[in-house]
Chain A
Amino acid sequence: MFSFCTDPDALEGVKWLSCYLTTGKHQSMYWAVGTVLLLLAITAPAALLFGFGGATAARSRFRPLAWFGKIYISIVRGVPDIAFFLFFVIALDQAFEWVRHQVKCPDWDQEIWQGNDFRVCPEAKLPLGNAAQWVHETYGFFLAVLTFAIVFGAFAANVLYGAMQAVPRAQIETAEAYGMTHRQSFWRILVPQMWVYALPGLSNLWMVLIKATPLLFLLGVEDIVYWARELGGSKTAQFTDYPHPDWRMWYFAALLVFYLAFTRVSEIVLDKIMRRLTKGQATMGGEKQRKAAA
């Protein structure tokens, strides 16, 4: 990257390090940080959407829908999340291919599950066999996002369900007394009020989501964990201009510091938001702020 990097063997100390840390592969690793941030940026709203759906379903007066919502909320807490990650990535992939198979090849006569194989017609393959590399990567990333959204949607559903229950019952009763329908009182009274109750749980969930991002590695996405293992392993002069022994420990120490900084910054920001939102609220927190100011 720098002009003095042309002959790595002649470099020493800081100069060597600055060249080493800016090689093409290291830049891929820095891009992988972007992948993590992108995942967070897409997953957080998606999970919130799934959570809202789950919480609404669990409150539904239509019994089967309520059962579905409650099972969705509770099954995810009973089972390790990593098992869900490993499960959904394959299951979703197969589900998509199966649906496409049914649509595109209705007169396919072979069995789809052949012993140890899952076989759909070539037109139904996802992504198509002749697709470009970036399509494969994007599809993998899309599956990862969907998996994260399903798993964390269940956690968000739990938080939102609790928040909906926490809105004082009298508020809904008043709405009903004014002649609002069930739907109106839900959208006009319950939903605007529940966010204050949900925020502590949701900010906790955000922290959990940050800490779950290294699991991307298990889903086959080339994320920072992948690159840390790849770049940290010992390299001989045969393969690279920058030979070094096994440095994976240092790479993972760097990741540790990265995540610590990330969670710390989020904590401070979320604290600020919470303080802003509780201002003037008739809750314990709001009362404390008022007293402190007076």
Chain B
Amino acid sequence: MSCWDTIADYGLRSLGYGERLLPRSDFTLCQQFTLIGSGMIWNIYFGTLALVSGFILATAVAMAKAAHNPWLRKPAEWFVFVFRGSPLFIQFFFAYFLFLSLKSSYPVLAPLTAAALGALIVLFLNTAAYSAEIFFGALQSIPKGDVEAADAYGMAGWSRFRRVIWPTMLRLGWPAYTNEAIFLFHATTLVFFSGFPTTKQQGDALYYANYFADKTFNPFIPYPILAGYFILLTLVIITIFGRVNAHLNRHLPQAGRSRIRLRPQLIR
């Protein structure tokens, strides 16, 4: 069987298309590359959707956390504390069993127990909390002069937020937010190792890498393949976020632009 056949059989295996049975013996390199790559679809799915939706909530939570009104501030502070102070692994487990018990009382909520939706909600809330903390920090360090200038131009409320505060907040928080995005994608590998089960062996990249390592008892091939895929993904994220960073900083003199530095201090 040539490698193209393998790709045709297993390329979309993680979504349930193609060959039903996973390879059981005589594992080839091509099979490992194809299946682990196919699993990456799930990692990208979780990461991208959680990042985009989490970004919106994070902005709102950061604004709420910076508000004077305690009715806004306190819930935001607690939200950030709960999701940043506890391990994501435990959050997944808790959410899964919570959804299970919800399902038994309200059958309508059954889709929540599937990883595709349930884990996405956890990741969404988790990344929102981490990003909110980053944006809150950026919000605190917006230069006073910028806001005063906006006031002097007669801007207030929404237009001041839209034109001055929000872009400056993004610009200041962007390097840290890039790291958050990278670690969010890394965190997606936890999904199928916590409570959430796979259906018909449709798992993510780590699930398949682990499958091969278990079957062949040789970790030296599948895990480096997985590592290669993730390094590639990390490079793509850095490129995209670097573009956005350049856009956010386009009005600044070339030398003064903040470069994105990778600071790996954000595992959950």
Contacts and interface: CB of A to CB of B under 8 A. Distances in A.
Interface of A: 75-83, 86-87, 90-91, 94, 113, 116-118, 155, 158-159, 201, 204-205, 208, 210-215, 217-218, 225, 228-229, 232, 246, 248-249, 252-253, 255-256, 259-260, 263-264
B90 interface: yes
Nearest to A217: B89
B231 A90 contact: no
A227 B98 CA distance: 18
26 contacts: A75-B227, A77-B182, A79-B226, A79-B227, A79-B230, A79-B231, A82-B206, A83-B189, A83-B209, A86-B206, A90-B219, A116-B25, A116-B216, A116-B217, A118-B217, A158-B263, A159-B265, A211-B86, A212-B87, A246-B97, A252-B90, A256-B82, A259-B86, A259-B90, A260-B85, A264-B85
B227 A90 contact: no
Contact of A256 (B91, B210, B219, B266): B91
B223 A83 contact: yes
Interface of B: 25, 81-82, 85-91, 93-94, 97-98, 100-101, 182, 186-187, 189-190, 193, 206, 209-210, 213, 215-220, 223, 226-227, 230-231, 234, 262-268
B86 A78 contact: no
A117 B101 contact: no
Given A208-B267, A211-B268, A246-B97, A116 B90 contact: no
A263 B190 CA distance: 21
B222 to A, nearest CB: 9
Contacts of B25: 116
Given A91-B219, A252-B94, A252-B97, A80 B86 contact: no
Contacts of A78: 227, 230-231, 234
Contacts of A217: 89
Contact of B82 (A76, A113, A229, A260): A260
Contacts of A113: 218
B265 A81 contact: no
Contacts of A86: 206, 209-210, 213, 219, 223
Given A80-B206, A82-B206, 4 more contacts: A83-B230, A86-B223, A91-B220, A229-B93
Contacts of B91: 256
A263 B85 contact: yes
Contacts of A118: 217-218
A233 B213 CA distance: 29
Nearest to A93: B219
A210 to B, nearest CB: 8
Given A81-B186, A83-B189, A212-B267, A256 B100 contact: no
Contacts of B86: 211, 256, 259-260, 263
A249 B94 contact: yes
B189 A77 contact: no
Nearest to A249: B97
Contacts of A229: 93
Contacts of B215: 116
B113 to A, nearest CB: 12
Contacts of A80: 186-187, 189, 206, 230
Residue among B94, B230, B231, B262 with max Cβ neighbours from chain A (10 Å):
B94
A103 B189 CA distance: 38
Instruction: Pick the 4 closest A-B CB pairs, nearest first.
Output: A77-B264, A80-B186, A249-B97, A252-B94
A124 to B, nearest CB: 16
B189 A248 contact: no
Contacts of A158: 263-264
Contact of B223 (A81, A87, A215, A228): A87
A246 B101 contact: yes
Given A78-B234, A204-B265, A253 B94 contact: yes
A97 to B, nearest CB: 12
Contacts of B218: 113, 118
Contacts of A263: 85-86
Residue among B90, B186, B230, B231 with max Cβ neighbours from chain A (10 Å):
B90
B19 to A, nearest CB: 20
B131 to A, nearest CB: 17
A155 B90 CA distance: 22
B193 A218 contact: yes
A215 B189 CA distance: 12
Contacts of B193: 82, 218
Contacts of A77: 182, 262, 264
Contacts of B234: 78
Residue among B210, B218, B264 with max Cβ neighbours from chain A (10 Å):
B264
Contacts of A204: 265
Contacts of B87: 210-214, 259
